[in-house]
Structure 1
Amino acid sequence: MDYASIAETRLSKDDVHYLAQLLASKFDFQPESDIRNLVSLMGGEVVVEDMLLADPDQTKSLIVMAPENFQILVPSHTSPERDRFIVAHELGHYVLHYLWQRKKNPDYPIAVVAYRENRKRLEWEANWFAAALLMPETAFRNTYGVLGRNIRKIAAKFRVSVSAAKVRAKELRLELS
């Protein structure tokens, strides 16, 4: 099967966050929910692969065979917290760079692939989506208010890495200790 490459949406960060929250609402996904279950409910599967020595520009991260038939590929050497963000990030590619694009353009390819390459805007959009899905603004601000500036506890609450929680806090202009 021939696969086309995914394409960026050029949506604003607020629009991307809104789409992440729509998805969460549609599937009753909460920050503490199992992200792999969400992928399954959407017709996808998470596949763990050994990618330690692979060339990132040649390593696939998302394969969409058809609507509601996709795979998210996760490295075997990363932590559960990192994996959770990776899956949400790739789900962002699926929602934004596949479902949204197909909605906008009926001629958009049916089968697409994403690689672990650094195409800045494309990756930003998927990161915005993942952050909003796993650490929704209201929930994150509330947790910050309860736990104070303890980023380790905040990260543990959302089951993400400390670095992901730090980026989200910075994005929301919250001070950390």
Structure 2
Amino acid sequence: MTTLYSVIAEAQRNAPVDPAALARKLGIAVKPMLLDDDMSGALVKVTPDKYEIQVNALHPETRQRFTIAHELGHYVHHRALLGEGVNDNRAYRTTQGDKLFNPKIGPKQETEANRFAASLLMPAAAVERLRAEGMTTAQMASHLGVSQHAMSIRLGVPYEPA
């Protein structure tokens, strides 16, 4: 029997994880769009039982990947709270006045979606294996298809831009 978590585990077998392919496997379309620069993406209800992820096509690929994973986190953990959906700015926060402002999605849910995204894209086992191989933070970030900043947060080390 295929479960949501087995589909996620399957996606994590390859590095880097492809969050867009995972979304499609879950029946969620991913649409790169021209959004305001301060808007990273959104999870939008398109029919009563179907969602799509809109992602800012102008953001760097690593940012787009994290945004897709973050919106998947909302889908996995907060579907009962979504209503018409939720959009997220660069800080992965929905704010009053946003088109899809959702008062049911607050800081707690945004943190949960961020943790989901980090765990999806940087699985603990993969991070430990790469660390044991002696990779630098930058090498690990490149291997997993994430930003150095995201990798630094996952490792719990200070971010030092190049």
Q: TM-score with structure 1 length normalisation?
A: 0.68
Equivalent position to 2:11, from 29, 45, 55: 29
Give the fraction of aligned pairs with identical amino acids, expressed as a percent.
Answer: 27
Partner of 1:63, secondary structure, is strand
Equivalent position to 1:138, from 109, 117, 125: 125
Report what 2:56 is aligned to: 75
Q: What's the CA shift string for 1:85-141, capped at 9, x where partnerless? A: 11000000011110xx3xxxxxx77x5310221532121010000011111111111
Consecutive aligned runs of 4 or more in structure 1 exceeding 3 Å deviation: 20-23, 174-177
Q: What's the CA shift string for 1:158-177, capped at 9, x where partnerless? A: 1011111111111xxx6888
Report what 2:75 is aligned to: 94
Asked if residue 114 in structure 1 is aligned to residue 98 in structure 2, the reply is: no
Partner of 1:32, secondary structure, is coil
| Residue identity matched to 1:163 | H
Report what 1:50 is aligned to: 34
Q: Is the 8 A contact 2:30 2:52 kept in 1?
A: yes
Where structure 1 has 5 or more consecutive residues not aligned to the other structure, the ranges are 1-19, 102-107
Partner of 2:51, secondary structure, is strand
> RMSD of the alignment, in Å?
2.8
Instruction: Pick the structure with more helix per residue.
Output: 1
Q: What's the CA shift string for 1:14-59, capped at 9, x where partnerless? A: xxxxxx965522xx112423221111111111111212357x5xx8
Where structure 2 has 5 or more consecutive residues not aligned to the other structure, the ranges are 89-93, 96-105
| Residue identity matched to 1:95 | V
Q: TM-score with structure 2 length normalisation?
A: 0.74
